[in-house]
Structure 1
C-alpha cells in the first residue's frame, strides 16, 4: 500500500544547544524551557535552561581563550571577524526566519535586521586594527622621555544581550568585545534566545578560536548573578538587565573591581551608528616610559 507524500516522513525539529568552549553541550542540569512566538504564543522550540554550573564552565573556557586571542594581531582578528560575517551572510534566510519568529516581525523587516547584523559585524571587523590609533598615542611630557599609551584587552567580559533585539542587538554588544581582543560569555535574550544559539553555529564554522565566544540561554537573572560575582570575569555589560537587576549586579561586580557598562536609560536604537564607545569600554590603557637615546 502506498503511503501519501504527507505521511511519508516526520518533521525533524531543530535541537538547540549551548555554545561553550567551541562545543555544543546541553545544559548540565538537563533542563529546557519553552520558547514561543511573541504574537500568537505558538511553540517554537525548547531552549536549554542553563545553570550556574554552565555559567562557570563558560568562564573557564573564556579564560583559557584569552591569551591566544588577545595575543593575535589586530589584523588577524579583523580577518576572523570578517569570516564570521561571511558565514552569517550565507545563512541569511535561516536567520531571517528565526528573527521573524523570535521578534514577531514581518519577513521583510526580519531580513533587514539580518542584513544590518551582517553589516555591523563587518563594521567592527574593520576597527580591529584602527582602534589603537584612537585609544592610544604618544603623550607630551617635560623631559627626555618617550611616553606612550596603548590599549589592551580587559580579559573576560560577561554580556547580557538585549532582550528586544535577538540578533542585531546581540551582534552590536558582542562584536566590540571580541574585536578588541577580549573573550565573551553571552547570556542570550531570555524570551528570544534561538537566533543567538544558532549564531553559535556560525561561530563554530568560522575561524573564531574555541572559547572566545560562549553563548548561554536561560533566565537572565539566574545566570547574571554568578557571572557578576565571578572573580575570573573582568567586565560586565548590563545591556539586557532590567533596571532593578542591574543595580544588584553592579553592586556584586564592585566586589571584584569589574568594569561595568550600565544599561541605557532609554531603549537603544540598534540601527543607529554605534560609534566607538563599546570598543573603548573593554580596553585598558597601558602607559610606558622610555628614555630618549642620545
Structure 2
C-alpha cells in the first residue's frame, strides 16, 4: 500500500455563541510560524463578527452568572481535563507560534492547564475573600457579596499564545462574567483550538467567544459597544497608542478598564487581581428584628 497521501489541512473558524462560523466578511489571513513558514489561514473577523459575539455573550450571561459557584468550578475543571487530553496538539501549536523547543512548549501547555485548574478552584472561594458581614451601628445585618460585571471584552496578550490567553480568560469567566476574546493576531491558532475544547466541554455556548484578526480593528467597536461592560487591554501592552484609543472609547460609556502592564510575566503566580477586576460589590441591609421587614440593597 502506498504511503503517499495528501495532508488534511485544518480549517480554523471563529467561535461565537457555541458555533463555528466563518467571518461574515469572508476574509482570511496567513498565519506563519516564528521562521515565516505558513501554518494556516485564520479568519479575519469584522466589526459585524464582534457585534455578533457581544450579542452571544449577553445572551449567555444570565444563565452563567446565575449558576452556582460550585457548578462553574466543575465546568472549568472539565475544560482543564480536556486540555490535558489534547496536550500534544497544543504543544505543537505553541512551539510553532512562539518558536520554542518542544520541551519548552510542553512546559507552557502544562502551566496553562495548571493555571486553568487554579482558577477553577477559586470559583466558590472568591466570595469569602471579597465578601462578608459588615459591622454597622444599628439593628441591621449588612452583607457584601461580589457579583460579576457582565460582558468583558478581552484583548489577548501577544507573545504568550496559550498560557497568557488562559491567564486572562479563566479569571473573567470563573466569577460569572462572559467574554469576547480577540486572539493574538500573529499567533491565533492556540486560541482557536482552545475554542474547540470549550465547545466540547460543559461551558455553555456564548460564555466565551473567540475572534481572530486585528486588535486595532476589533478593539474599537468592542470598547465603544454599549452592551460591553468591561475591557481587558492585556494585548495592547506594546501599543500605547491603541491602548489609549480604547481607554477613551471605553470611558465614553463608563466601562471598567483593566490597563495593560508594561511587562507581564505570565508564568508568575497569578494572584487574585484579575478575578477581582471584573467584580461588583452588592451590599444588602436587613433588619435583625425578624422576617417581617424586607431588606434593601444598593
Query: TM (normalized to structure 2)?
Result: 0.95
Distance in 2 between residues matched to 1:228 and 1:270, nearest whole Å: 24
| DSSP 3-state at the match of 2:142 | strand
Distance in 1 between residues matched to 2:257 and 2:277, nearest whole Å: 9
Alignment of 1:19-38 (within 5 A): 19-38=15-34
Structure 1, residues 61-92: CA drift from partner, whole Å, max 9, x if none?
00000000000000000000000000000000
Give, in angstroms, the shift of residue 5 of structure 1: 2.2
Give, in angstroms, the shift of residue 272 of structure 1: 0.7
Alignment of 1:235-246 (within 5 A): 235-241=230-236, 242-246=239-243
Match of 1:12 among 4, 8, 13: 8
Match of 2:270 among 258, 270, 274: 274
Structure 1 residue ranges (4+ consecutive) displaced by more than 3 angstroms after TM superposition:
none
Are 2:267 and 1:249 equivalent residues in the alignment? no
Are 2:233 and 1:233 equivalent residues in the alignment? no
Alignment of 1:68-87 (within 5 A): 68-87=63-82
**Count of residues paired in the alignment:** 288
Q: Say what the alpha-carbon RMSD is for the aligned residues.
A: 0.8
Of stretches 235-244 and 56-65 in structure 1, the one that deviates more from structure 2 is 235-244
Give, in angstroms, the shift of residue 4 of structure 1: 3.9
| DSSP 3-state at the match of 2:83 | helix
Distance in 2 between residues matched to 1:243 and 1:254, nearest whole Å: 16
Which residue pairs with 2:56 in the alignment? 61
Distance in 2 between residues matched to 1:243 and 1:129, nearest whole Å: 36
Runs (5+) with no aligned partner, structure 1 = none
Are 2:172 and 1:177 equivalent residues in the alignment? yes
Distance in 1 between residues matched to 2:242 and 2:122, nearest whole Å: 32
Match of 1:186 among 159, 173, 181: 181
Give, in angstroms, the shift of residue 240 of structure 1: 0.1
Distance in 2 between residues matched to 1:278 and 1:135, nearest whole Å: 13
Distance in 1 between residues matched to 2:120 and 2:240, nearest whole Å: 31
Structure 1, residues 89-134: CA drift from partner, whole Å, max 9, x if none?
0000000000000111100000000000000000000000000001
Query: TM (normalized to structure 1)?
Result: 0.97
Distance in 2 between residues matched to 1:201 and 1:184, nearest whole Å: 16
Distance in 2 between residues matched to 1:186 and 1:249, nearest whole Å: 15
